């Protein structure tokens, strides 16, 4: 699975207050950086990263439970969508993409 940031923001829903806005902001920054660098983020990894940031910020695990409900709310508040990656799509070397596109154009130009 991989997360992407949904560019369209739906303002019809009331934004709920976040109990720990600094944690939410730190996690959102991490997600955006990870997505920008092409990292695949699973829901489990997202929860583990949230637990790590909570520990660093001295937020008690009992104070915030990283349940499916919390995860769903975080994704909704930050416009994140989960996409499944099938087969070799997850292992594609992104840094080689421009060279491979040029090779493909050269190959196609012959026909």
pLDDT at 25: 92
pTM over 0.75: no
pLDDT at 7 over 70: no
Q: How confident is the model at residue 38 (pLDDT cuts 50, 70, 90)?
A: confident
User: What is the dihedral sign for C-alpha 25, 26, 31, 32?
Assistant: positive
b or e along 21-44 (b: 16 or more beta carbons within 10 Å of the residue's beta carbon)?
eebbebbbebbeebbeeeeebebe
Tens digit of each residue's pLDDT (9 = 90 or more) over 69-80: 988 998 888 888
Indicate whether 41 pLDDT > 80. Answer: yes
According to the model, what pLDDT value does residue 95 have? Answer: 74
Contacts of 23 (CB under 8 A, 6+ apart): 50, 53, 54, 57, 59, 64
**Sequence ranges of the domains in the chain:** 2-109
């Amino acid at each position: 699975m991989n997360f992407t940031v949904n560019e369209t923001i739906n303002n019809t829903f009331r934004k709920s207050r976040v109990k720990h806005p600094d944690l939410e902001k730190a996690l959102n920054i991490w997600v955006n950086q990870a997505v920008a660098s092409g990292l695949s983020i699973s829901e489990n990894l997202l929860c583990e990263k949230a637990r790590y940031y909570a520990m660093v910020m001295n937020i008690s695990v009992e104070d915030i439970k990283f349940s499916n409900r919390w995860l769903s709310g975080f994704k909704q508040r930050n416009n994140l969508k989960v996409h499944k990656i099938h087969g070799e799509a997850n292992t594609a070397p992104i840094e080689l993409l421009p060279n491979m596109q040029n090779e493909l154009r050269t190959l196609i130009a012959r026909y």
